[in-house]
Structure 1
Amino acid sequence: MADQPDNNRQPAYVRFKNGTCYDIEVIWINFHKKEKSYCILPSEKFLDVNTYATHPWIFRECISKSRMVVNGKEVFMARPWLEEHKRLKFSHPINVPLRTMVLIEMPVIELRQLCLLNLAKILTHEDEVKTLEIPIILQRELVQMICNKEECKMKLTN
């Protein structure tokens, strides 16, 4: 993960938990502020990641590419594990690093977007969109979401 040396490397050990009913793309923002896809995290699953406190992470729902949130924020920065140990006020020493649970949630979204998202989740092919009696602009958005869904599936299998 090191694109550039980090002078202040404070290790952080996190467990990303997908608390949504959608597949989520876990993305690390590198030192050049470029998004680096880390993995696809299926609904209700978790992923253990060893990272650093200086590394920002974002999360996108795979179909609509909407940003998800952690503690109400779109960008997550882990705390160093020793700081987490102190914050939780453990009285005994820990020899093994403490892994922090990070719950990924869906933010409040418009009803229109939620409906499109659920339709895209159900539909399997973009030709099915043409059978729906909805405005052309919504059909186009749905087709794009279905393409995103297929792209996500390919990432998930690789």
Structure 2
Amino acid sequence: MDEFEYEVDDKGNMQIAKSLDSEEPSHIRFVNCSYCSISIYWIDYNGKTQLYKKLEPLQFFDLNTYTTHPWIFKERITQDRLVVNNKTVFRGPKVQYFWVPTTNSNHIRREVIRIRMPMRSLTRLVMVEIVKALPDENCLAALGLPGTLQNELKSLMILKNQDKS
């Protein structure tokens, strides 16, 4: 089964997020304002996510895209979604120009887009830190945790190991 990303349209209806046309440019700078490593995905014309870039905390990169192209952001270990402007699916704004009198010309203003972590429960935060600290899942049994927590931690460790490959 294919997994699609969904977003709310202008009328409040849920729809599959996908790239539309490539007519209206958007010049942006993605800034990772979270404390974790993230993956940035472009959603293509068929609604499929395509890994585009990985960013470490406080790193940024500049991108020329289009206003109808959606982007999503995930924490690399947990695959938790991150947010931009309180939304999990981002579409860039129209290009803005500003006048530079010394060169007597217009210049493009690159929009700064801050990627942030959504609120997490204390349990989730602790689990992520445990996964970061453990070298492999064989160490879980030594912690003496209940089976349910061990299984959740194993799932996170699998995601962490997949990200390394």
TM tier relative to shorter chain? 0.7 to 0.9
Shift of 1:95: 3.5
Partner residue, 2:72: 58
**2: distance between equivalents of 1:76 and 1:46?**
16
**1: distance between equivalents of 2:123 and 2:143?**
15
Partner residue, 1:102: 113
Unaligned 5+ residue runs, structure 1?
A: none
Q: Moved runs in structure 1, 4+ residues, more than 4 A?
A: 90-94
Partner deviation per Cα, 1:31-69 (whole Å, 9 max, x = no partner): 211111112211221121111000111101111111000
Partner residue, 1:117: 128
Unaligned 5+ residue runs, structure 2?
A: 1-17
Partner residue, 1:16: 30
2:56 equivalent to 1:42 = yes
Q: For 1:134-153, what aligned pairs fall within 5 Å after superposition? A: 134-153=145-164
Identical-pair percentage: 34
Alpha carbons of 1:151 and 1:100: their partners in 2 closer, same or farther (altered >3 Å)? same
Partner deviation per Cα, 1:51-107 (whole Å, 9 max, x = no partner): 10001111011111110001111111100113xx4xxxx564764422111111100
Letter in 2 for 1:134: L
The count of aligned residue pairs is 145
2:37 equivalent to 1:26 = no
Letter in 2 for 1:35: T
User: If each structure's strand is expressed as a fraction of its own residues, which one has the higher value?
Assistant: 2
Residue pair 1:124, 1:146 contacting (<8 A) in 2 also: no
- State the secondary structure of the residue aligned to 2:62: strand
Letter in 1 for 2:115: I
User: If each structure's helix is expressed as a fraction of its own residues, which one has the higher value?
Assistant: 1
User: Higher relative CO (CA 8 A, sep ≥ 6), structure 1 or 2?
Assistant: 1
- Normalising to structure 1: TM-score of the pair? 0.82
- Normalising to structure 2: TM-score of the pair? 0.78
- State the secondary structure of the residue aligned to 2:140: helix
